[in-house]
Structure 1
Amino acid sequence: MIRRGRAEGWLKLPISTFRSWAELNGVTLNGVQVGPMPGFEHRGSTVIAENDMTGGETGPLMVIPRDLALSRESVEGFAKSDKQLKEVLDSLGEYAQTARGTILVFLLIQATISCPEIPESTGVVNPLTEYVKFLPEELLPTFWTEQEQELLVGTTLRSAIRAKMNSLLREFEHLRSATEHISWCEKYWWDEDEGYVTFEDWMHVDTMYRSRALEFPGIGDCMVPCVDMANHSSGEAAAALYETDEDGNGILLLHAGKTVKRKDEITITYGDEKGACEMIFSYGFIEDSMESARVMFLDLNIPDDDPLRSAKIAVSAMAPGFRIFDGGDCTGWESDFVWLVCVNEEDGLGFNFLQTNDGDRELRAFWKTEELEDTSKLRDLLQTEALWEVYQLRAITLLQNRIEQQIEDLHEVGNPEKDSGVRDVPWKLAGKLRKLELKLLERAFNDLEDQKLVLIESESVKRYLGITDEENAEEDFS
């Protein structure tokens, strides 16, 4: 419905009419306009300065009424006067208690309201019904072809896309099963012959939200019309920031002392800490100036021959992997999960079934005599042990092995040739991501090697292994 509607034009309004819509709905635009950059129309719409201005000398560039922000709060407000929207939200249970869940459902219903092939009223028109029609189609990786996604083999983005597609499919099936008893949903969404909603439509509302959601103080995760038209720049290049005023309205402000010339683009940051993978995943681009992948998350499996593997999986609520990040002069890593992987029964890790108040039995983890109510706190306990350096060495060895595997995967694929069926944007993004991630992985591997060599020289490691020769210590430990 959505993608077909965009092709036919009924779900797409010209950006030239955006200002009229904004002013009609109480938005104040002060010295800025929303539209394509002159000479760069192919890049889509952005926020452009109408005059020379300096931060601190002008008031807010934009003021967006709080009730125009698309948030969980506003969707619940719309549902009070929109029977169809309320029916769907009520049917979805816990999923509709999240910002993401409520907003995606709202977006889908706005597209349904606008569909000319659905003659009956399926919802109440509101200001945001028109706003949805201004949102451009974003070429996020979930809409890359399979051939284009194959370019990502060996990168962390490949597994992220697969996980996202599986998650979207589960959400879509939940939406279908929860709403197919609602008469209008059964007829206009799910009917085998006359229904209009497809999985691709759900993918599309996901890209609308994922590429434009911002976290506003006092509002939370939301989509804020006008502000969400601003493009991204990192660090000092970002001209403006967004926040809320004393009345809870969304505002856009120039950074103090920042000078912007007439017809310049006014940018914000989507998050300077976001890595190359996340930028492509959520926004469909990475900056040309980006020289580091910044951060990567690699999955980590518990070895099949670990006798406590099943129990560890059962009690762990942690992400099964580790985070590598660029710390400037050197790399760093973070993981709560790795400590659960690298200790076992002979070290003091144990499991037992305890009876709960309702009579059930629940598997619990123990470190020596102390119950591990939260396995993410295991590291704190290990730090107090005489064998702390040994545990660190085990963890680093596990991480190095996993990093080495990822490096080999990237080298194995190499730099594939560009086929005729591959579009330029996915091709360029995939190639740059591979280079940035390979560079960070190689740096991380070398930094871990340095840490390992220091640990091998520690007295506790030597005593544990019963040897003093550095070469034998490293070989025996591995």
Structure 2
Amino acid sequence: MRRGHFSLNELPAWSTLNGVNFLDVIVASINGRGNGLVAKKDLISQESDSEPLTLLTIPKELVLSAEGVEEYAKENKYFRQLLDTAGRQSARGDILLFLLYQLVLSSPDYQAGLGPSTPWTQYFSLLPSHVSTPTMWSELELSYLKGTSLDSAVAAKLTVLTKEFDDLRENMATLPYWNDILSIDESITIRDWILLDALYRSRSLGLPKSGESMVPCLDLVNHSSQATAYFDENSEDEVVLYLRKGGLVPAGSEITIDYGQEKSPAEMLFSYGFIDPNSAARSITLPLEPLEDDPLAIPKLHAFGTPPKLKLEEDESGVPHWTAPFVYLMCLNEEDGLRFRVLQETDGSRHLKIFWQNIDVTDVSNTMKDLIQDHELRQIFELRAVTVIMGIIQQQLEQLISAQNGDSVAGRASTKVYQAISQLRSLETSILQKSIQALDEQRDQLLRDDTVVEYLTMMGSDQNDPGAEAATDEEDFS
């Protein structure tokens, strides 16, 4: 659908009309960074100041949160119909429906009939029509993510967005006005929905009272790992941007906030479309799949409850550490003392329960590493886990190196995308290589453990003893 027009020159009048206060700061276009907030004069905040210096205030009525969506639905019956029909599944989904509504209201193609516009209707037209997040990249650019941790993540996200839009079309078919837009004019497409999602992910903020929200004007403030400002909600529920205590921003310099020190390079690229080269966060998250020959794979996944992940993270010294709670569940079997039972309640409902050493651990199955610490074979279990993790990392590294050697991104992708992909590949290659080295040392140490040596020696002798094998076969048969 065609976008409306709203320029930066119109923002001061809009801000005055809607109670947004800029204090010694202005919004300006910043080379290579889009719009941003700039100091009109030297801004200084002393450590001894009783109150932080206020730079920007936004009234609660403009905050686009779950509560804000509900308030608007009370005022606009047409939006309430849309929300009742296609929403109320999540705060994110409801906010996307609100943005979709503003897209229509602000479009020059809008023929009226959906109620009056809101302050967000005009502000929406100031938001970019393209966001550099991977979900908005071309198919060619997406192909260069092969081997990185974002490859499967972006593909999964696009699949989810496509299903959401298909469900949206189906639900909207019951609303005459929206059915005309979707079915006859085809004004709203999957690309619009992908854009709305990208706008939400790249501009939403976690507020202490309102939760995940979009805040007009505050969403124009750019990121820096050495941020000079921070935001909060005051006693009047206004969203306020403050200068950090001890901060100094010269006139004409940009004011920044921190989008998240703990976010990995892949998370930054996925949500915001860039990687901060100055960030100290160096981590990678990979999906974990059950072992192919594990007969308990399905119940293990069900009992664990959440999609299992492997996280590799470097500490301040550059030493990598791995976290993967599910891998310990992967590496345990019935002969170790792991059991699954289906319990039926008096009301007829059935529940899958997981037991370790005859103790119900269903609610704490994500802490198997702690639960096995007192077992005599805990070093064996640790060796299994390390071996599995090494295999996963080695496979990921081979895919990444193969992808790097098999294509040439330069000249076939935008400069911004090319730089982001190169950064991501370099960072993840380094983390994977360091992790393999650390795990190799951990495995060698485990293989020298007396318990492990004795266990492996015993297992080797059993495999070489035909009588033992025959007895085992007979026992299995019986």
Do they superpose with TM above 0.5?
yes
Task: Check whether the contact 2:33–2:222 (CA below 8 A) recurs between aligned residues.
Answer: no
Correspondences of 1:12-91 after superposition (within 5 Å) = 12-37=5-30, 40=31, 42-56=32-46, 59-91=53-85
Shift of the 339–211 alpha-carbon distance from structure 1 to 2, 3 Å rule, reads same
User: What is the root-mean-square deviation in Å for CA atoms of aligned residues?
Assistant: 1.9
Deviation at 1:356, TM superposition (A): 2.4
Deviations 1:256-288 (A, max 9, x none): 111110000001000011111111111111123
The SS at the match of 2:430 is helix
Give a deviation string over 1:31-60, Cα, whole Å, max 9, x none. Answer: 1011213xx2x5310000001011246631
**CA contact 1:19–1:34 (8 Å) conserved in 2:** no
TM, length-normalised to structure 1: 0.90
Q: In structure 2, what is the equivalent of residue 222 of structure 1? A: 213
Alpha-carbon separation, structure 2, partners of 1:277 and 1:345: 37
1:263 aligned counterpart, secondary structure: coil
Confirm or deny that 1:295 pairs with 2:283.
Answer: yes
**More divergent stretch after superposition (316-325 vs 204-213):** 316-325
Distance 2:451 2:289 in 1: 27
CA distance in 1, matches of 2:33, 2:123: 20
- The question of whether the paired residues in 1 share the 8 Å contact of 2:102 and 2:121 is answered with yes
Structure of higher CA gyration radius: 2
Corresponding residue for residue 316 of structure 1:
304
AA aligned to 1:424 is T
Within 2, Cα distance between the matches of 1:110 and 1:33? 25
2:275 to 278, 283, 286: 286
- Of 320, 338, 345, which aligns to 2:334? 345
- In structure 1, how many angstroms separate the alpha carbons of the residues matched to 2:27 and 2:87? 38
Please show how residues 73-222 of structure 1 align to structure 2 within 5 Å: 73-92=67-86, 94-95=88-89, 98-136=90-128, 137-188=130-181, 190-191=182-183, 193-222=184-213
Whether 1:412 aligns to 2:402 is yes
Partner of 1:474: none
Q: Provide the secondary structure at the position in 2 that maps to 1:60.
A: strand
Q: Deviations over 1:280-335 (max 9, x none)?
A: 11111112335x76121111211221121222233231222211111122111212
Q: After superposition, what is the alpha-carbon deviation per residue over 1:170-214, rounded to whole angstroms, capped at 9, x for unaligned? A: 2112212222111221122x22x3242111110010011010011
The alignment partner of 1:359 has SS state of: coil
Shift of 1:94: 4.5
Aligned to 2:343: 354
Q: How does 1:324-473 map to 2 (within 5 A)?
A: 324-329=312-317, 330-374=319-363, 375-415=365-405, 416-418=407-409, 420-466=411-457
- Where structure 1 has 5 or more consecutive residues not aligned to the other structure, the ranges are 470-478
Quote the Cα distance in structure 1 between the aligned partners of 2:236 and 2:303.
45
2-structure distance, mates of 1:340, 1:444: 21
Contact 1:318–1:376 under 8 Å retained in 2: no
Question: Counterpart amino acid of 2:289?
Answer: N
Which residue type is aligned with residue 325 of structure 1?
E
Q: Which amino acid aligns with 1:300?
A: L
Aligned to 2:469: none
Unaligned runs of 5+ in 2: 461-478
The one-character-per-residue Cα deviations of 1:241-261 (angstroms, maximum 9, x if unpaired) are 111112121111111111110
**Shift, 1:419, TM fit:** 5.7
8 Å Cα contact 2:228/2:243 also seen in 1: yes
SS, match of residue 355 in structure 2:
strand
Q: Residue 451 of structure 2: SS of its match in structure 1? A: helix
Query: What is the SS of the residue equivalent to 1:450?
Result: helix
1:177, 1:386 → 2: CA distance?
A: 57
TM-score between the two structures when normalised by the length of structure 2: 0.90
CA shift for structure 1 position 433: 0.8
Of 214, 229, 245, the match for 1:256: 245
1:398-434, Cα deviation, whole Å (9 max, x unpaired): 1111001111011112253236442211111111110
* Residues 238 and 269 in structure 1, CA contact (< 8 A), matched pair in contact too: yes
CA drift of 1:101 comes to 1.1
Change (3 A) 1:76 1:343: same
Distance 2:88 2:266 in 1: 29
Contact between 2:20 and 2:56, CA under 8 Å: does it hold in 1? yes
Distance 1:296 1:274 in 2: 10
User: 1:42-92: CA deviations, max 9, x gaps?
Assistant: 531000000101124663101111121111111110110111111111123
Matches of 1:376 and 1:124, distance apart in 2:
50
